[in-house]
A and B are shown apart, each in its own frame.
Chain A
């Protein structure tokens, strides 16, 4: 069983602040994805990281894949209320199977 631990489970911040959430595993993944899920909707892919040490930026979101390909982080700069959501990390293993973490629930207060 592939297990991913996400921390913190819940984070509430003021608009304009920065935040970082983490995804950790004891397993090595060929690649890792981050999704955002809003209430009553399915997850939407934000990014895929493939290479150990890789950093990808998506506007104010910065994603980093650990050197050992076991962990990842998501940093949001100057958070906006529209960033509110559940951020799920998922490790890719086997034949395009996804193992999800429980998610980081982020609430940005205007």
Chain B
């Protein structure tokens, strides 16, 4: 029954060592989002894909990249993780028939990243 799956649930990496987080969905939704949620902070949108169109938020650091090879999968790549990148990373999906229509976002359980 899992709809939005994130692997791994916990990820430990070393300072400066590239890391990739993955998200998959069984909902066939055309929009996928990545959020960063630090402890006691609001989830912050990093970027999203509308189909294959990548939409980066203006304040997302260049250190964060994303790939969406197909509808079901989306990856978050952190090229050189710093201590400040330790956070919960949430993936979400939504189905949009047209831009501007509000649709429910379905969140995965998140991946908690620890940077040593």
B42 near A103: Cβ-Cβ < 8 Å: yes
Number of interface residues of A (CB under 8 A): 23
A43 near B107: Cβ-Cβ < 8 Å: yes
Number of interface residues of B (CB under 8 A): 29
The segment from B13-21, B60-68, B71-79, B88-96 found at the interface with A is: B88-96
B43 near A97: Cβ-Cβ < 8 Å: no
> Per-residue 0/1 for A43-60: is the Cβ within 8 Å of any B Cβ (1 yes, 0 no)?
111001010000000000
A96 near B94: Cβ-Cβ < 8 Å: yes
- C-alpha spacing A45/B4, complex, angstroms: 14
Query: Does A13 belong to the interface (CB within 8 Å)?
Result: no
B42 near A101: Cβ-Cβ < 8 Å: yes
- C-alpha spacing A93/B108, complex, angstroms: 21
